[in-house]
Amino acid sequence: MEYTYDDQNIFAKILRGEIPNDTVYESDYALAFNDINPQAPVHVLVIPKGPYVSLDHFAQHASAGEQVGFMQAVAKVCELTDIADGFRAVCNTRAHGVQDVPHYHMHIIGGRQLGRMLQG
Ligand code: 5GP
């Protein structure tokens, strides 16, 4: 599959500092920030700094260092937020996954009982 990255997407603008964000954690490989429209008390987006459109693009094409760096940022978010009772990690992908922003991101959602997945 061909992946085409649009560097005008909103998360690319956040990474370039053109749009502000509420940063939770940042490293050389990833940025984690609070979602602007939180679905739960904890709702953090973790994004790689590289130009990847989706989870499958990242998993297939990112270097081992980028992939480890990304997951280390996820681990940091788990430490820094109040999700001891559990959470959900979601990566919406393309049309069927209802992905709005075409820069790979993982939602870390928690801080309340979330109910069963896929009710819609
Ligand atoms: P998607 O549907 O692509 O998985 O989710 C995109 C997420 O990005 C949504 O939860 C939305 O609230 C969030 N979002 C969109 N624009 C912005 C923004 O400018 N700042 C932040 N912090 N979150 C955003």
Tell me which residues are annotated as active site: 105
Residues with CB under 6 A from ligand 1: 10, 19, 21, 33-37, 45, 92, 98-101
- The predicted model scores a pTM of 0.98
For residue 109, the cross-strand partners are 43, 88
Beta-strand relationship, 42-48 and 23-26: unpaired
Q: How far is the CA of 34 from the centre of ligand 1 (A)?
A: 9
Q: How far is the CA of 25 from the centre of ligand 1 (A)?
A: 17
pLDDT per residue of the chain (120 residues) written in tens, 0 to 9: 999 999 999 999 999 999 999 999 999 999 999 999 999 999 999 999 999 999 999 999 999 999 999 999 999 999 999 999 999 999 999 999 999 999 999 999 999 999 998 766
Q: How far is the CA of 108 from the centre of ligand 1 (A)?
A: 12
Residues with Cβ within 8 Å of residue 81, at least 6 apart in sequence: 24, 42, 44, 108, 110, 111
| Rounded-to-integer distance, Cα 12 and Cα 9, Å | 5
